[in-house]
């Protein structure tokens, strides 16, 4: 019978770090990654020599980019592996890192995500030509998925844009966010149309960055003298991919994965204090929030207007600014979500703190489609 | 014969471009035809046989693309998910410029159309347009 992460020995996030997400610069990817990793090591108060294995998440940098970076921390000969799962690369790397610690193969594992949009995304032909091949990039793919949702639920463009107002406001106080500016509704609506009725400020920007998370076992926490009051437990992890003949893959996948992690953690949607989800477009936040069960279908907008999803509301969504304001460099994104949840659950989020946060959900989808969910809890 | 005349002739003489889909021995119908394997049951090779689809369907969702890298298909253009009447849901181009193209809920038919309306020698692509009688304004 298959096991879940929670059947293995407990896994904890002990250190987090970032290189700010930003538009393409001249900085080599190595510099972005090293900053995030060193900050995570320092946050955990451990040495690089204690890290037993590394998962390097990247979708755009090309082959074998990990060691040229990791060697600068000290080339100790530990195993490393690269993880790619489109937008969900970072989430996938985090899951695998947790499984390695949970299974007892390692006590301390690094999950680092890094990317630079220096070259167009490449993919070999799958040998089956659809009618719109080449015309639909992942971006447009999500626009198609969410167009149907918006129409079906009669959501007005001005109301969807309120999600961007919230997320830009949250991102404005996140020093690692690509977009750190408060935006009015008028500013959001008046921008350049990018896809359908969605304007530029309602869509995730293109950018580079890095995020690192270190996970460890209880043994390692004790042995290395890690401060136990600052660790956060990974209570659940689930992953899935699109089924054949599925017309509503995005919603079904999210429902399935979120139901699985809530079940594993023995929680219900109303127990969630904070959610980081795949808000590449504003409409996606509505779509996935309803799919998680955090509010009934069709109720997101009225509750958003009442402040229910603000920092300080009943369930804070996208406290980091989300993909819209924090950004989506791809490799780092899922890992950066875990970092944000950790910050919040520790009570160290400063101005962005959602008070009393005890349970957080990280959700990502990726072209494929694939979907990941993780639940983090304050022990 | 110019591109424009050819397209108008298509419209008058054959209402919808048939599409070559596939059918698995398990019953699943899909588009386009391929023999790599059935995504419902995994059967491959000659368990998958070509089937002619009418090219008629209904638009499920639509997105207008404003930013695109390929110079042969300048934006704006519209893409859609179309549910063909035989069942498969496919991603496809919409044949008309975004302001005139089919909307979710519309019945559409497959036809050829120029990938670049501004170029007289443009490549022809397969896309979907509303299945409503159109006025033939010239030719």
Q: Which residue reads 């959001």 in tokens?
A: A188
Whether residue A147 and residue B69 make contact (CB cut-off 8 A), yes or no, is: no
Per the model's pLDDT, the better-predicted residue between A137 and B128 turns out to be: B128
pLDDT for A298 equals 87
Tell me how far apart the alpha carbons of residues A237 and B123 are, in angstroms, rounded to a whole number.
Answer: 48
ipTM: 0.85
Q: Which of A363, A359, A194, A349 is nearest to A271 (CA)?
A: A359
Interface of A with B in 243-272 (CB under 8 A): 244-245, 247
Q: Give A321-338 pLDDT, tens digit per residue.
A: 999 999 999 999 999 999
Please give the mean pLDDT across all residues of chain A. Answer: 95
**Is A2's pLDDT higher than 80?**
yes
Identify the band that residue A368 occupies on the pLDDT scale cut at 50, 70 and 90.
confident
Q: Is the pLDDT of residue B56 over 90?
A: yes
B68 compared with A342, residue with greater pLDDT: A342
Residue pair A135/B126 in contact (Cβ under 8 Å)? The answer is: no
Using a CB-CB distance cutoff of 8 angstroms, which residues of chain A are in contact with residue B77?
135
Alpha-carbon distance A361 to A236, whole Å?
9
**Length of chain A in residues, anyone?**
379
Query: Higher confidence at residue A367 or residue A77?
Result: A77
State yes or no: pLDDT of A314 exceeds 90: yes
Does B79 contact A135 at a Cβ distance shorter than 8 Å? Answer: yes
Report the SS3 class of residue A256: helix
8 A C-beta contact, residue B22 and residue B33 = yes
pLDDT higher than 70, residue A21:
yes
Give contacts of B125 with chain A, Cβ < 8 Å: 131
All structural domains of chain A with their residue ranges: 5-120+205-377
Cα–Cα distance, A216 to A43 (Å, whole number): 13
Q: Which residues of B touch A147 (CB under 8 A)?
A: 61-63, 104
Q: Which chain B residues have any C-beta within 8 angstroms of a chain A C-beta?
A: 28, 31-32, 34, 36, 38-40, 60-70, 73, 77, 79-81, 83, 89-93, 104, 125-127
DSSP state of A206: P
What pLDDT was estimated at residue B12? Answer: 47
Q: How many residues does chain B have?
A: 139
pLDDT at A122: 80
The torsion angles phi and psi of A160, rounded to 5 degrees, stand at -60, -40
Q: Distance (Å, rounded) from C-alpha A205 to C-alpha A226?
A: 36
The pLDDT value given to residue B11: 47
Cβ-defined contact of B69 to A120 (cutoff 8 Å): yes
Say how far apart CA B89 and CA A131 lie, in whole Å. Answer: 12
φ, ψ of residue B12 to 5 degrees: the values are -80, -40
Which spans in A199-326 are helix H?
A: 218-223, 249-265, 282-292, 300-305, 322-325
Taking only residues 302 to 361 of chain A, the set having a beta carbon closer than 8 angstroms to any beta carbon of chain B reads none
Alpha-carbon distance of B46 to B38, in angstroms, equals: 11
Contact A150, A164 (CB under 8 A): no
**What pLDDT, on the 0 to 100 scale, is given for residue B3?**
55
Any residues with CB less than 8 A from the CB of A186 and at least 6 apart, and which?
none
Mutate to test the interface with B, among A117, A121, A135, A243 (most CBs of B within 10 A): A135
Query: pTM for the full model?
Result: 0.93
Q: Where are the alpha helices (DSSP H) in A179-248?
A: 185-189, 218-223
Euclidean distance between CA atoms A4 and A234, whole angstroms: 12
At A193, the pLDDT band (50, 70, 90 cuts) reads confident
Q: Alpha-carbon dihedral of residues B33, B36, B37, B39, nearest 10 degrees?
A: -70
Look at B38-42, B63-67, B117-121 and tell me which has the smallest mean pLDDT.
B117-121
3-state SS, one letter per residue, for A129-192: CCCCCCCCCHHHHHHHHHHHHHHHCCCCHHHHHHHHHHHHHHHCCCCCCCCCCCCCHHHHHCCC
Distance CA A86, CA A59 (A): 6
Q: Which residues of A touch B63 (CB under 8 A)?
A: 140, 143-144, 147, 195-196
Residue of A nearest to B125 (CA): A131
Q: Are A79 and A66 in contact (CB under 8 A)?
A: no
**A139: pLDDT strictly greater than 80:** no
Residues 6 or more apart in contact with residue B55 via CB below 8 angstroms: B16, B17, B18, B19, B84, B109, B110, B111
- For the record, the structure tokens of B19 come out as 């599409």
Is residue A136 within 8 angstroms of chain B, CB to CB?
yes
Residues 106-125 of chain A with CB under 8 A from chain B are 120
* Domain A5-120+205-377 is found in CATH 3.40.47.10: yes
For residue range A274-307, list pLDDT tens digits in order: 999 999 999 899 989 999 999 998 899 999 999 9
């Amino acid at each position: 019978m298959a096991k879940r992460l929670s059947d293995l020995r407990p896994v904890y996030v002990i250190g987090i770090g970032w290189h700010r997400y930003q538009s393409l610069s001249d900085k080599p990817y190595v510099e972005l990654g090293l900053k995030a990793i060193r900050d995570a090591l320092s946050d955990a108060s451990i040495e690089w020599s204690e890290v037993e294995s590394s998962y390097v998440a990247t979708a755009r940098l090309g082959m074998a980019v990990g060691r040229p970076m990791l060697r600068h921390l000290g080339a100790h000969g530990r195993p490393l592996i690269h993880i790619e799962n489109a937008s969900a690369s970072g989430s996938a790397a985090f899951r695998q890192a947790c499984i390695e610690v949970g299974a007892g193969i390692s006590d301390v594992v690094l999950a680092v995500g890094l990317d630079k949009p220096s070259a167009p995304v490449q993919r070999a032909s799958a040998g089956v030509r659809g009618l719109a091949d080449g015309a639909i990039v992942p971006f447009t793919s999500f626009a198609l998925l969410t167009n149907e949702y918006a129409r079906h639920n009669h959501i007005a463009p001005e109301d969807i844009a309120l999600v961007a107002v919230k997320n830009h406001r949250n991102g404005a106080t996140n020093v690692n966010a690509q977009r750190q500016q408060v935006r009015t509704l008028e500013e959001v609506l008046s921008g350049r149309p990018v896809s359908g009725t969605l304007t530029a400020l309602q869509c995730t920007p293109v950018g580079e960055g890095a995020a690192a998370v270190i996970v460890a076992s209880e043994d390692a926490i004790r042995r290395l003298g890690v401060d136990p009051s600052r660790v956060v437990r990974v209570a659940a992890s689930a992953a899935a991919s699109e089924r054949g003949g599925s017309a509503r893959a995005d919603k079904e996948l999210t429902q399935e994965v979120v139901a699985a992690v809530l079940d594993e953690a023995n929680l219900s949607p109303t127990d969630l204090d904070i959610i980081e989800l795949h808000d590449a477009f504003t409409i996606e936040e509505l779509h996935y929030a309803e799919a998680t069960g955090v509010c009934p279908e069709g109720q997101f907008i009225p509750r958003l207007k009442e402040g229910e999803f603000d920092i300080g509301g009943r369930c804070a969504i996208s406290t980091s600014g989300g993909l819209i304001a924090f950004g989506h460099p791809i490799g780092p994104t899922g890992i950066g979500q875990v970092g944000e949840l950790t910050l919040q659950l520790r009570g160290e989020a400063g101005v962005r703190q959602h008070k009393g946060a005890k349970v957080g959900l990280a959700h990502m989808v990726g072209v494929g489609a694939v979907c990941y969910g993780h639940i983090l809890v304050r022990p | 014969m110019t591109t424009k005349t050819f397209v108008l002739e298509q419209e008058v003489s054959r209402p919808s471009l048939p599409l070559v889909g596939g059918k698995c021995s398990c019953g699943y119908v899909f588009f386009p035809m391929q023999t790599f394997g059935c995504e419902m049951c995994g059967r491959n090779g000659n368990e998958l046989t070509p089937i002619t689809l009418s090219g008629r369907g209904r638009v499920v969702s639509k997105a207008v693309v404003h930013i695109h890298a390929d110079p042969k298909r300048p934006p704006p253009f519209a893409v859609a998910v179309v549910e063909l009447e035989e069942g498969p849901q496919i991603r496809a181009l919409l044949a008309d410029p975004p302001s005139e193209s089919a909307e979710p809920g519309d019945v559409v038919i497959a036809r050829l159309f120029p990938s670049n309306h501004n170029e007289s020698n443009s490549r022809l692509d397969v896309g979907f347009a509303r299945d409503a009688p159109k006025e033939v304004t010239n030719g």
